[in-house]
Amino acid sequence: MKQPLLLLASLLLVSTAQAQFGVKAGANYATLSKENKSSNYIHPKGRVGYQVGVFYEQKLAGRFSLVPEVQFSRQQLDAEVVRFNFPAEDYYAQYQLKLSYLAIPVMLQTHFGKFYLEAGPQAGFLLAAREKGEERTLSYLSSYMGPDNTTYFDRSATADFRRFDVGICAGIGVKLPAGFAVGIRASTGLISIARDTQTTSDDNHLRNQVAQASVSYQLGG
């Protein structure tokens, strides 16, 4: 009875040692790009967030590897919204937006000794969005020196954004001893994440822009 158990344990240890699975974590800097940069409706400003995930490296011919990943990415940014509606009310808002994505990049890596270059597509699934800040309206019929009409909010914004995103990624990294590695990566969205009804026609082309820095550990590395 002991011999089969020892054999099974040995096989598990060998398979783990040969596995190319890994884990990674790091910081990101996220913002939104606008198709109409002269628009005065929304002004995004990036903030630092984080991501954690797992990956699997499949060795290919020569110096190439295919590396699919699954990440949880918390992307944060500040936004200022200004909308002029003469002769109706003007609208102003300032808030922090948090976007939580399940990201699935599939990277093709090319290795040069300890260094590697990578590029590939990425799919993203919006898990949740939340905005916290303040907003106010100003009427041309009322005095700008009137009572404070500011409203403070902390609310879900998931319904304002599309659930699916797609983009492309590129990065560079270096392999370290004992299975560790460090890397930097940039990704850009290829489609707008804003629903058409959320913004004006000049501002409904908002695309994710994210830069990442991460540390990874690979089993059997």
| Of 76, 75, 72, nearest in space to 24 by CA | 72
Number of domains in the chain: 1
Residue 35 confidence (pLDDT): 66
Q: Is residue 52 part of a domain?
A: yes
Say if residue 28's pLDDT is above 50.
Answer: yes
Whether 92 has a pLDDT exceeding 80, the answer reads yes
CA distance to 28, 67, 172, per residue, from 213 (Å): 6, 17, 10
Query: Does residue 181 lie within any of the structural domains?
Result: yes
Please give the residue range of the domain that contains residue 53. 19-77+102-127+161-218
- At a CB cut-off of 8 Å and minimum separation 6, what does 83 contact? 41, 90, 91, 92, 200
pLDDT in tens, 138-167: 765 554 544 557 889 999 999 999 999 999
**Where is 105: in which H helix or E strand?**
strand 90-112
**Between residues 123 and 8, which one has the greater pLDDT?**
123
Q: What value does the mean pLDDT take over residues 40-62?
A: 91
Average pLDDT over residues 183-211: 81
pLDDT tens track for 179-191 = 999 999 999 999 9
For residue range 62-78, what is the model confidence (pLDDT) as tens digits?
999 999 999 999 999 99
- Whether 174 is covered by a domain: the verdict is yes
pLDDT digits (tens, 9 = 90+) for 111-146: 999 999 999 999 999 999 999 999 888 765 554 544
Q: Does residue 2 form part of some domain? A: no
- The CATH number that applies at residue 106 is 2.40.160.20
Residue 153 lies in a domain: no
| pLDDT score for 142 | 54
* pLDDT-derived band at 3, boundaries 50, 70, 90: low
Average pLDDT, the chain: 84
Task: Provide, rounded to the nearest whole percent, the portion of the chain with pLDDT above 70.
Answer: 76
Q: For residues 58 and 171, what is the distance between their CA atoms, to the nearest angstrom?
A: 18
Distance, in Å, from the CA atom of 133 to the CA atom of 130, rounded to the nearest integer, reads 10
Q: Is 25 domain-assigned?
A: yes
Query: Does residue 41 lie within any of the structural domains?
Result: yes
Query: Is 97 domain-assigned?
Result: no
- Is the pLDDT confidence value at 200 over 50? no
Check pLDDT > 60 for residue 9. no
